[in-house]
Amino acid sequence: MPSLIPLGPKWSHLSPAKFIVSASDTRFDRQIRFAAMGEQGQARLQSARVLLVGTGALGGVLAQNLVRAGVGELILCDRDIVELSNLPRQVLFEDRHAAAKIPKATAALETLARIGGPTKLRAEACHVDAENLPELADGVQLVLDGTDNLATRYLINDWCVAEDTPWVYGGVVGSGGLVLPILPGQSACLRCIFPDPPPAGSLPTCDSAGVIAPAVGTIASMQAGAALRILSSARGKGTAESPTHAPGMTPKLLQIDVWTGSLLTVDATRRPGCPTCDEGNFEFLHAAATRDPVVLCGRNTVQISGGPTKPDLGAIAQRSAAFADDVQNLGVLLRITDSGIVLTLFPDGRALVEGTDEVDRARALYDRYLGA
């Protein structure tokens, strides 16, 4: 098994990418025998770079599928840490990750690296926003949605349409969910189907309505199937006769419920007047990245974004030891316990303040240890 070397906030696992598929290479033999994939499709897959936003429930299944299929490079982004309640449905995590509250992106990379194969993995423990998405997604051929919030999805939609990059939307709650592959210029984008984000708190979430693992696995597997088709397809030149992405693929909105066994497909055609893909209005991408604290739904946790400079975790740990109840410097993050509230500080200055949903209280604790 390849070794893992911690590199500050980023962990990298590098193994030689096999961009030419050899007849004697049996690792992907069954995949190559699938006529729609073939040797050329496998070679395209192994030269592709993919951004996965969210490595939890949907993201864990997506990541496993792509690594086992041999995708060339997979960038793993997640803002959260592993908790015990994640384990029934988030397949990349174990008890030890939850006990230590490891960043999800780091834990995901560790688990995926044990699979082996040619995939290059990169982990970013960060909140994806309008400021860092262009850098994170630079040079990717596909973006995959493993996130749990609509704001990030509308941001991804804007960036992908603006950059002519396919992405695959997925959402799950309870026993069912939705899947929509989006091919810019060819199919509906997210705003063609859902023109505007619904009001905050108006939709059920996994925290409010629960979720079961078979629903997660089914929705993520459909996303992964669409991803493999897009990545392994020949790319055209953007004409009607030769589409830019996945020739012959006609994306549809798919709704599946694993409890009732119901399945519904809806044509996903572009909507005239769509503010994003028809009018070119990328309001979510061009909006300034918010630095306001965010209350995480159902978590009794507040997320606070970092400032313009990165904190010195070692210095903060040393200074905090005199008045905090407990200080744990874990290298890739710093955990401070104060009066029953836990502040987890990341290298980019972002923090999760667990044990309160009061923004002012969370902000005050953050400022106490990092300075106003």
- Neighbouring C-beta atoms of residue 72, cutoff 10 Å: 21
Closest CA to 310 of 133, 125, 156: 125
Closest CA to 235 of 183, 190, 189: 183
- In angstroms, rounded to a whole number, what is the distance separating the alpha carbons of residues 75 and 90? 18
Please identify every residue annotated as catalytic. Answer: 206
Do residues 114 and 137 lie in contact, with contact meaning Cβ atoms separated by under 8 Å? no
Do residues 87 and 98 lie in contact, with contact meaning Cβ atoms separated by under 8 Å? yes
Token pair of 84, please?
């015990």
SS3 category, 173: strand
SS3 category, 330: coil
Token pair of 95, please?
């008890």
Token pair of 269, please?
């055609």
Please report the DSSP string for 75-136 in residue order. Answer: EEE---B--GGGTTT-TT--HHHHHHT-BHHHHHHHHHHTT-SS-EEEEE-S---TTTHHHH
Closest CA to 186 of 129, 252, 112, 142: 252
Closest CA to 4 of 133, 122, 168: 122
Compute and round to an integer the Cα radius of gyration of the chain.
21
- CA 113 to the chain's CA centroid: 17
Give per-residue burial for 20-37: e unless 16+ CB within 10 Å, then b. Answer: ebeeeeeebeebbeeeeb
